[in-house]
Structures are given as C-alpha cells and as structure tokens.
Amino acid sequence: MSAPLLRVTGLTKVYPNGVVALRGVDLTVDEGEFVVVIGRSGSGKSTLLRCLNRLVEPTQGTLEFEGRDVTTCRGAELRRLRRRVGMIFQHFNLVRRATVETNVLTGALESAGLVASLAGFWPRAERERAARTLAEVGLLAQRRRRADSLSGGQQQRVFSSAFRAMFGTSHRKKALSCALLYSQKLNRRTLNGQLFAQ
C-alpha cells in the first residue's frame, strides 16, 4: 500500500494570545480521497486548513506531503509547496470587474507569466483549460460576463474553476479539495485528536 498523500501528526496551534486552536490532530488523506472537516464556528477548521499549506505556522507537530516533511519549508521551497496544495477560501476574492474567463485564467497566472497575462495574452492551452473547467460547472456560456453580474452561487463556481485551473492534468489527481462545492458521495472521517479545543 502506498504512503498517504498527506499525513498530519500531532498538529497543535497555540496563538500568541494563548488560544489553543488545535491540539494533537492526526489525519491522513490518500490520493484522490475527499475529506470534509465539519465543526462549529471557532472550532479550528480554518486554522487546520491554513496550517496544511503553511499560511499559519503550527506550534507543534509534523505535516508530510507526498512523503516529505514540509513543516520546515522556507522561501522558494515553501512557494513550490503552496503551488501544489490549492485552497478554496471562504471569500471568493474574484476580480469583480473582470470577465468570468479572466478570473478563471488567473488560476494559471504562474504558468502564463505576469506581463503576458496583464496584456491579456494567455496561452492557448490555458484558455482551453479555462473553457473546460467552466463547462464542467455549467458556466461556459457566461465566460464573457463580468464576475459581479453573477449570482453568489455562480461566483462560487467561477472560483472553483480558477482553483482547478491552477493544476495541470498531471497534478489534478493530487489536488486536495478543501471544500466541496457540488454533490459528492462523502466519506465521513473522524480525526484522531482534539479539533475542538476547550
């Protein structure tokens, strides 16, 4: 049996004000697996997810991604890790005045290059990928509309498409989905550890 895609061991986060957000969380995620973390407001769900790509530094514990301890990654190595671990935030942060297609293409900004993308020159392969992801969520016909003209649910689907556009075909299977926006058959999991810090 292969090693899990993600292994979290003894993850603890204590904020400077003394709040214990996570205490001893253990979690494994296999490649292709969908995991949903459910809990009340303030229970540490966002802290857990932000620790996974090191937007929040854990106080204690280890994070292994693809068999490699990434707890101590810094600089360019940490930036490479973040490109491999996508995250859907609670707020969509779309460019409201840009088109739906442009918002999706921003997910591929790194591969297109800043100057070319600012000038509106996106590689053909990226435009085709954007069209595919928009078609998957039923928004291909809306691709020329401004993002702020869409409903909240449609904006959520645009953000989901941008998230998927970050990953090329070879990486898509390994993308960790931190939020499910569509109906999926969910595999309920129990965290071995205390997510609800008292």
Structural domain boundaries in the chain: 6-86+178-194, 100-166
**pLDDT recorded at residue 5:** 87
pTM of the model: 0.54
Least confident of 52-66, 79-93, 106-120: 79-93
Closest by CA to 30, choosing from 167, 163, 174, is 174
Tell me how far apart the alpha carbons of residues 143 and 188 are, in angstroms, rounded to a whole number.
35
| Per-residue pLDDT at 75 exceeds 50 | yes
Most confidently predicted of 86-90, 103-107, 144-148: 144-148
Cβ burial of 160 (10 Å; 0-12, 13-18, 19+) is buried
Q: Which CATH class is domain 6-86+178-194?
A: alpha beta
What average pLDDT score do residues 121-145 get?
88
Confidence class for position 195, pLDDT limits 50, 70, 90: very low
Question: What are the DSSP E strand ranges found in the chain?
Answer: 6-14, 20-29, 60-65, 68-69, 192-194
How much of the chain exceeds pLDDT 70, in percent?
75
Tell me how far apart the alpha carbons of residues 132 and 161 are, in angstroms, rounded to a whole number.
9
